[in-house]
Structure 1
Amino acid sequence: MSSAGHFCNRTWDGWLCWGDTAPGTVMQMCPEYFFDFDPAEKVTKVCNPGGQWFHHPESNRVWTNYTQCQAYTKDKLKFAISLYYLAMVGHVMSIVSLVICLIIFSYFKSLSCQRISLHKNMFLSFILNSIITIMWLSLTVANNQAINASNPVSCKVLAALTQYTATSNYFWMLCEGIYLHTLIIVAVFVGEQQLFWYYIVGWGFPIVPAITYAVARGLYFNDKCWISSDTHLLYIIHGPIQAALFVNFFFLLNIVRVLITKLKETHCAESTAYMKAVRATLILIPLLGIQFILFPWRPEGRISRAIYDFFINIFSHFQGLLVAIIFCFCNAEVHLNIIFECIADISNWQDCCCYDSR
């Protein structure tokens, strides 16, 4: 209330309800139930010093300013469509590249070992995440109006599966770090590692936050298709992911410390090989984790928010491609196996030609 005691009475303007208000400007978010309104923009209403709601000078009627709700709708729609196609391209490229990696690791028997088995499972988790994300985006973006009208359970199930597979991605990365830490730091105390426990961590544990999130979302923020990211319930997913990234980072730093010490003392080839394996995972952590570091810091400005959304989408939807490049396409062992295979094929072809010429 103002010092003079004047205030504007509560009112319903036909779209939004406004409570008793002291003189000044009050704001609310644009209503979501209009398709051409942007719910991220604000509605304003002015209470005059005398305790009367502002009247528009042309109509001389009480007026609420809804102009910002549609001010950038067309531009935002174009930008949203661009992000949609960017996401689709990123996930398709991720699927193709990761399938190629799985074929390479399965074809060359010399690459068969526990570490490569972990790679394969991590690749599979990224492939599943990309497939489910493509399905969810196709359902919620390409058929937005139909979905808003029907709000089927299927899109909520896909939303929960998307969160499960995303969590699984990061826990398989954690498995990579745990495996290397066990192999290098505590190898003296353990024999061959049991991959069963890695399957529990990579595939099993992410079920817990995914189910918890789905139940909480259904009870406390049950919007259509669970599209909105404007809820703290996402920390049910992001919390375990951030914890996995944090633990993995310190595991890998400890491994690097030990390997540097070993290299200074012995200069052995085995330590150098381990260092390359650790370096790949260490590079990947900030690349895949940056979105969860920046998530709470989404800017308010229209242009800065668009730039933020663009880069977050790059890091989110091209993750599988980054994993394929770092763990397979830039892997020296893979390069050597492909070179040896090519040399063997050329040699066989030459032998065949020489035999035919006889």
Structure 2
Amino acid sequence: MWRIPALWLPVLLLAVEVCHCEDVGTMLASEEVPNIPLSTTVTRSQILSAQFECYLKIIYDPPRNEAGTFCNRTWDGWLCWDDSAPGTAMQLCPVYFQDFDPSEKATKVCNSDGQWFRHPESSRIWSNYTQCQMYTKDKLTFAFSLYYLAIVGHGLSVVSLIISLCIFSYFKSLSCQRISLHKNMFLSFIFNSICTVIWLSAVANNQQLGASNPIGCKILTVLNQYTFGSNYFWMLCEGIYLHTLIIVAVFVGEQKLGWYYVLGWGFPIIPAITHAVARGLFYDDRCWISSDTHLLYIIHGPVHAALLVNLFFLLNIVRVLITKLQVTHSAESNAYMKVVRATLILIPLLGAQFILVPWRPEGRKARAIYEFIMNIFAHFQGLLVAIIFCFYNAEVQACLRRKWAQTKLVWKWTDSYSHYNTNSSGTETSRATVSLELTAPEEDTIIKPGGSVHYRANGQSNGKRCTNGEMDTPRILEATDI
């Protein structure tokens, strides 16, 4: 009954009479804080709601039974303070005001005589909210920088990934299991980037929407969390495939991709739905935007587990690479350069940078640098993956070069044809056809030093276009660019 909105104001007025606490206007006048726009409906309703909850807490919470002096529970106009022993009580700053940083702390001093500290100038009970605004402008500027960084990063990622998918889909010679996994992972990056941009623009950067708390913004949050999890589980799928291909190598045929689809697209639904149910029952904040809850471990726990497994795969693959390269009797510097190259290629694929740099440093400047670097990794990862696994891929480059050469020949033929009459068109067409046949290679691949690869001849695949374990490990990585 106490939580029905229609009963808030009568009960609130009754609580004011019972507790004899200072109201919002009085407290704001007595405390030396910046001019806060309390006339806004959102801010005033939030404060009244918090005041109502505080008075219920004051009335119904059991009394303090510990021996010794203490300061009584109270409402100071903005926050509710519990019974406190002598010393300094602290809690997070309120979220009512745009220029308050909710991650900072407000303090209230309890004197040794069991009385709350009074300001020397006003002689009224005083809470210290100065820390809430001390770094607000700098943090706001930095937050907007990260916001625009995220928009640009995800925008570039979406464009590059769509181009990559078009390339993989257009050239049939690139069709194989490895490319199929790449395409699904690229799709997960695209969905995650789109949902992240929409969520940042429509929810995180929209105070009015957050205050109205519609069901739509919660659904968008769930979708964003699902695509976030799907992104990392497709990274795990890539890690499992590579580890099986390079380390296990017990089969010659193709792997069954059905389980990869279940793991990449299906499994992330479980933590997303579980988190949504738990959030609605135990921490139903506005648009589920707050990160100040342990319920987020429902989402982050499986992601961290996937990253740890991928880290194991990365280390094991590097171990095998070092062993294989030692057997080939390559020069030491060349061997280590290959290992470093393979490792650097695997890191963005498997998301290992989030494991290698897990700890936030202390200090504002160090933390700001850390956040900036981690945001670059997070928001530009799709672009980095597209560059490494599509644009930098030797097979893709060979296909694009052949297509460009054929296109130039067609343009040349068209331009030449326009200068001849119909009597010479047959001769010119024959010449262009012969030139195309002589220029286009019979085999739809390239041969790299140190490794033999099965080819697709004259458009017909022999079924082994993508390596499936029949080559040595270093040659797999070198010939296919992972």
Give the TM-score of the pair, scaled to structure 2.
0.65
- Residue in structure 2 matched with residue 117 of structure 1 by the alignment: 180
Which among 113, 120, 131 is matched to residue 68 of structure 1? 131
RMSD after superposition? 2.9
Provide, for residues 153-188 of structure 1, a one-character-per-residue CA deviation record: whole Å limited to 9, x for no partner.
Answer: 111111111111111111112212222233344444
**Pairing 1:172–2:230 present:** no
Alpha-carbon distance between aligned partners in 1 of 2:99 and 2:325, rounded to the nearest angstrom: 62
Which among 107, 113, 128 is matched to residue 50 of structure 1? 113
Alpha-carbon distance between aligned partners in 2 of 1:114 and 1:174, rounded to the nearest angstrom: 15
Letter in 1 for 2:265: W
Structure 1 residues 119-128 or 168-177, which shifts more? 168-177
**Pairing 1:208–2:277 present:** no
User: Structure 1 residues 73, 280: CA separation in 2 closer, same or farther (over 3 Å shift)?
Assistant: closer
Alpha-carbon distance between aligned partners in 1 of 2:112 and 2:289, rounded to the nearest angstrom: 41
8 Å contact from structure 2 (residues 171, 399) kept in 1: yes
SS in 1 for 2:91: strand
Alpha-carbon distance between aligned partners in 1 of 2:142 and 2:182, rounded to the nearest angstrom: 35
Which among 403, 407, 417 is matched to residue 345 of structure 1? 407
Give the TM-score of the pair, scaled to structure 1.
0.86
Q: CA deviation at 1:336?
A: 1.4
Letter in 2 for 1:282: L
Alpha-carbon distance between aligned partners in 2 of 1:160 and 1:201, rounded to the nearest angstrom: 18
Structure 1 residues 117-126 or 245-254, which shifts more? 245-254
User: Structure 1 residues 158, 263: CA separation in 2 closer, same or farther (over 3 Å shift)?
Assistant: same
After TM superposition, list the pairs within 5 Å mapping 1:106-145 onto structure 2.
Answer: 106-144=169-207
- Residue in structure 2 matched with residue 319 of structure 1 by the alignment: 381
- Residue in structure 2 matched with residue 271 of structure 1 by the alignment: none
Alpha-carbon distance between aligned partners in 1 of 2:297 and 2:382, rounded to the nearest angstrom: 23
8 Å contact from structure 2 (residues 177, 254) kept in 1: no
Name structure 2 gaps, 5 residues minimum.
Answer: 1-63, 330-337, 425-482
- Residue in structure 2 matched with residue 229 of structure 1 by the alignment: 291
- Residue in structure 2 matched with residue 331 of structure 1 by the alignment: 393
Pick the structure with greater CA Rg. Answer: 2
- Residue in structure 2 matched with residue 283 of structure 1 by the alignment: 347
- Residue in structure 2 matched with residue 23 of structure 1 by the alignment: 86
Which among 292, 306, 315 is matched to residue 244 of structure 1? 306
8 Å contact from structure 2 (residues 308, 355) kept in 1: no
Alpha-carbon distance between aligned partners in 2 of 1:95 and 1:51, rounded to the nearest angstrom: 60
Letter in 2 for 1:171: F
SS in 1 for 2:117: coil
Name structure 1 gaps, 5 residues minimum.
Answer: 268-273
Alpha-carbon distance between aligned partners in 2 of 1:308 and 1:188, rounded to the nearest angstrom: 42
User: Structure 1 residues 29, 265: CA separation in 2 closer, same or farther (over 3 Å shift)?
Assistant: closer
Identify, as 1 or 2, the structure richer in helix: 1
> Between the two proteins, what is the percent identity of the paired residues?
68
**Pairing 1:79–2:129 present:** no
8 Å contact from structure 2 (residues 237, 264) kept in 1: yes
Q: CA deviation at 1:244?
A: 1.6
8 Å contact from structure 1 (residues 55, 61) kept in 2: yes
Structure 1 residues 118-127 or 348-357, which shifts more? 348-357
Q: Which has the higher contact order (CA 8 A, sep 6+)?
A: 1
Alpha-carbon distance between aligned partners in 2 of 1:275 and 1:348, rounded to the nearest angstrom: 43
Q: CA deviation at 1:36?
A: 3.4
User: Structure 1 residues 333, 19: CA separation in 2 closer, same or farther (over 3 Å shift)?
Assistant: same
- Residue in structure 2 matched with residue 270 of structure 1 by the alignment: none
Provide, for residues 262-321 of structure 1, a one-character-per-residue CA deviation record: whole Å limited to 9, x for no partner.
Answer: 555579xxxxxx9999656522157x34346656x4456443433333223222211211
Q: CA deviation at 1:12?
A: 2.3
